[in-house]
Amino acid sequence: MSKKSVVYPKFAQIELTPDDMSYPGSLRELSDAPKKLYLIGSIEALNQPTIAIVGSRKASPYGLLCSARFAKRAACHGLVVVSGGAIGCDQAAHQGALETKSPTIVVLGCGADIVYPNDAHQLFASVLAAGGAIISELPWGSPPARWAFIKRNRIIAGLAQATLIVEAGMPSGTFSTADSTLALGRELLVLPGSILSKQSAGCNHLIAQGAWPIIDDRSFDDALSNIYTEPPLLRGFSEPQKRSGLSEAPDEMNQLEQTATADAYNNIMERLRVIPSFPDELVGTCGKDVVEVIRYLSALEFSGQVTRLIDGRFSAAFKNG
């Protein structure tokens, strides 16, 4: 698969070996640490407290929402988000971090000067502009290859002190990231999902095997407070860590709830208590477009108030008693 190299005029192309002081110390713990890293962007981002956030390429609205949500939350706690730049949960994680004007790291399965996926040029440019980095262990100009994407997952895990898996099916390439995380003795955090969702089957399996379940914002904060002990991490969410050259991140704790009105939620719930519905059938109910409806539904599903049926419709979640 032939791809053309892309030049980012404001950013130098850098090569690092394990002998360089700037080579990430966390990567040295890998049994097969990269013999050379090819990097565009900020070397400093590689040696900050980091968290990997990864998930399915064929992400559901729930997966996209949660990936961006927890990436924003991690960034506001002063963590650099690491992911693979892939369509789906990975790109949502990068975008979530960027919304707080925080650096994020993209690890590619092709040359760092290759834009892959094809539509990621603007995202990668934003990553660099925010003080982040694009890295690879493959030489400049190397085309994307399936084997390389599986192999790069160990680098994603190696760069991070913990890994959060948002959504993963069975089987899933994300499992290789989980395996590398556990092999390094680092914490594996996983979001549970519906037992009826194929995209969450892998996540539920990992939790059953002992992974750290993240069931809400508070459990995520608790996990971070146990894993990252160095100050000034985990200050108040409305008082995120400042970095030189970056503006202060906004309060993201309840962004979705702040933008959604109570009437919209109530109208959706009233409809779903009567008849299960597809998202586009709810547009008139709350007066929003389908994208907003999906965001509402994802939040309601996340809180357990609605459930997704096998055919894709949503229904109110009725509880015994």
Give the pLDDT confidence of 149-192 residue by residue, as tens digits. 889 999 999 999 999 999 998 988 889 999 999 999 999 999 99
Residue 249 has pLDDT above 90, yes or no: no
Q: So what's the pLDDT on residue 121?
A: 93
The CATH architecture one would assign to domain 255-316 is Orthogonal Bundle (1.10)
Q: So what's the pLDDT on residue 309?
A: 82
- Report which secondary-structure segment, H or E, holds 317: none
| Structure confidence at residue 113 as a pLDDT band (50, 70, 90) | very high
Across the range 131-153, mean pLDDT stands at 94
Across the range 280-307, mean pLDDT stands at 77
| Structure confidence at residue 291 as a pLDDT band (50, 70, 90) | confident
With beta carbons less than 8 A apart as the criterion, state whether 52 and 163 touch.
yes
With beta carbons less than 8 A apart as the criterion, state whether 59 and 67 touch.
yes
**Which range, of 38-42, 68-72, 280-284, averages the lowest pLDDT?**
280-284
Spatial separation of the C-alpha atoms in residues 223 and 241, rounded to whole Å: 18
What class has domain 13-227? alpha beta
Across the range 113-119, mean pLDDT stands at 92
Spatial separation of the C-alpha atoms in residues 313 and 278, rounded to whole Å: 4
Q: So what's the pLDDT on residue 264?
A: 77
Residue ranges covered by each domain of the chain: 13-227, 255-316
Share of the chain above pLDDT 70, in %: 86
- How high is the mean pLDDT of the chain? 85
Cα separations in angstroms, 197 against 69, 99, 194, 310, 316: 20, 28, 5, 8, 16
Spatial separation of the C-alpha atoms in residues 189 and 276, rounded to whole Å: 32
**Which range, of 28-37, 90-99, 224-233, averages the lowest pLDDT?**
224-233
Look up residue 287 and give its two tokens.
Answer: 């007066």
Q: What is the pLDDT of residues 29-58, one digit of tens each?
A: 999 999 999 999 999 999 999 999 999 998
| Structure confidence at residue 84 as a pLDDT band (50, 70, 90) | very high
- Report which secondary-structure segment, H or E, holds 29: none
